[in-house]
């Protein structure tokens, strides 16, 4: 535990040293939503809220992704050199490869999406980024690759169900893993719509997964989570209301996919669902609205996702975020309890 706390603090310090000049660089680069991203004719709460956040940089996730990956790449060899014992549940190189592949591949996909939006490379489509269908197919492909790597390279095909025991899925674990990865990728991306909402929930949730990774003595996974946490805490200082920096699609996609992957590697899928429930509920509200428009040609909810509905009924942005954090804390406690019984 002392090693992991030291790793977390080290990551926090490194991120903190570079984040202010990085924010200034993003402003110079104009890496933010254009004022034309949402038409002024739209007066609903979501559109007004999005317009109010225009010209706030959205590359925070890129910074965390790059620094966390670099430190993680050198951390395990350095710890071995210093004489620390490295314990692991799976073949260590294969596990590290899966973590890197998830983090970086979804980060690159989101980064490409960000570039198209912020540099207005697709003016005909209103600066909305990658086409939804193309983005979704890429996510499914990457999710299936991650699931296959877990099944073939690590031999994972089980899910622990509290009170019932272990269920073996065999090859069906691959599409199940892909479903979870794609679901959380989009759920975290959707939840990243208010100052401190997604990052705060991720911080709370990852503390829970850090405890679970420690309980199974998986040093590579614990080190990765601790490094990731240090970056998120440094980022959150500038992301709380009023935010000076957002994650962007690069961060939200990478973090959502890695969040699901961490849950799968701990073998606690039910805990993953419980701990990640705030993301799932927010994402589900958006999905219901989309399906209603596509299939029934009408909105099924007054407004979506859920955090905008709460804004619509009169809750202030800080109140929504802080109460979501409180819900997240209790769900982490509940999820850990389910995982260890």
Using CA atoms, how far apart are residues 256 and 279, in angstroms rounded to an integer? 9
Using CA atoms, how far apart are residues 290 and 214, in angstroms rounded to an integer? 39
Question: Would residue 296 count as lying in a domain?
Answer: no
Using CA atoms, how far apart are residues 208 and 211, in angstroms rounded to an integer? 5
pLDDT of residue 85: 83
Q: Give the contacts of 109 (CB within 8 A, at least 6 positions apart).
A: 135, 138, 139, 142, 253
Angle at the Cα of 142 from the Cα atoms of 136 and 144, rounded to 5 degrees? 100
**Domain limits for position 140:** 2-268
Q: Are 332 and 205 in contact (CB under 8 A)?
A: yes
Angle at the Cα of 42 from the Cα atoms of 40 and 47, rounded to 5 degrees? 90
Question: What pLDDT tens digit does each residue of the chain (341 aa) get?
Answer: 788 999 999 999 999 999 999 999 998 888 877 655 555 666 677 778 878 887 888 899 999 999 999 999 999 899 888 888 889 889 999 999 999 999 999 999 999 988 888 776 655 544 456 788 899 999 999 999 999 999 999 999 988 888 888 888 999 999 999 999 999 999 999 999 899 999 999 999 999 999 999 999 899 999 999 999 999 999 999 999 999 999 999 999 999 999 999 999 998 899 999 999 999 999 999 999 998 988 888 888 888 899 999 999 999 999 999 999 999 999 999 999 999 87
Question: Would residue 18 count as lying in a domain?
Answer: yes
Structure-token pair, residue 311: 């804004």
Under DSSP, is residue 3 helix (H, G, I), strand (E, B) or coil? helix
- The residue among 108, 114, 113, 106 whose CA lies nearest residue 30 is 114
Look at the alpha carbons of 86, 252, 112, 105 in this order and tell me if their dihedral is positive or negative.
positive
Question: Would residue 306 count as lying in a domain?
Answer: no
Using CA atoms, how far apart are residues 332 and 275, in angstroms rounded to an integer? 5
Question: Would residue 282 count as lying in a domain?
Answer: no
Number of independent structural domains in the chain: 1
Question: Would residue 300 count as lying in a domain?
Answer: no
pLDDT of residue 51: 80
Under DSSP, is residue 132 helix (H, G, I), strand (E, B) or coil? helix
Question: Would residue 95 count as lying in a domain?
Answer: yes
Work out the angle between the directed axes of helices 60-81 and 92-118 (0-180°, nearest 10). Answer: 160
Q: Are 168 and 158 in contact (CB under 8 A)?
A: yes
Question: Would residue 303 count as lying in a domain?
Answer: no
Question: Would residue 299 count as lying in a domain?
Answer: no
């Amino acid at each position: 535990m002392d090693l992991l706390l030291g790793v977390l603090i080290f990551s926090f310090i490194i991120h903190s040293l570079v984040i202010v000049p990085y924010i200034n660089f993003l402003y110079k680069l104009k890496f933010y939503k254009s004022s034309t991203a949402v038409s002024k004719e739209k007066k609903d709460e979501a559109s007004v809220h999005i317009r109010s956040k225009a010209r706030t940089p959205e590359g925070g996730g890129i910074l965390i992704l790059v620094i966390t990956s670099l430190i993680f790449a050198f951390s395990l060899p350095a710890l071995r050199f210093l004489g620390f014992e490295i314990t692991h549940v799976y073949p260590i190189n294969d596990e590290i490869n899966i973590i890197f592949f998830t983090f970086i591949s979804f980060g690159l996909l989101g980064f490409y999406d960000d570039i198209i939006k912020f540099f207005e490379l697709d003016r005909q489509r209103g600066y909305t980024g990658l086409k939804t269908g193309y983005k979704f197919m890429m996510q499914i492909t990457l999710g299936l690759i991650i699931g296959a790597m877990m099944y073939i390279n690590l031999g994972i095909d089980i899910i622990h169900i509290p009170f019932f025991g272990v269920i073996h899925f065999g090859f069906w674990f691959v599409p199940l893993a892909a479903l979870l990865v794609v679901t959380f990728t989009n759920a975290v991306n959707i939840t990243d719509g208010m100052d401190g909402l997604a990052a705060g929930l991720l911080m709370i949730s990852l503390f829970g997964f850090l405890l679970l990774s420690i309980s199974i003595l998986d040093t590579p996974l614990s080190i990765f989570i601790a490094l990731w946490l240090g970056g998120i805490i440094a980022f959150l200082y500038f992301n709380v209301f009023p935010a000076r920096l957002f994650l962007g699609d690069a961060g939200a996609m990478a973090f959502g996919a890695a969040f699901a992957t961490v849950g799968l590697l701990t073998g606690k899928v039910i805990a993953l669902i419980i701990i990640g429930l705030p993301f799932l509920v927010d994402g589900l509200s958006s999905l219901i609205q989309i399906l209603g428009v596509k299939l029934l040609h009408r909105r099924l909810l007054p407004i979506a996702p859920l955090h905008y509905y709460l804004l619509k009924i009169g809750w202030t942005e800080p109140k929504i975020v802080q109460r979501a954090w409180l819900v997240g804390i209790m769900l982490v406690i509940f999820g850990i309890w389910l995982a260890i019984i």
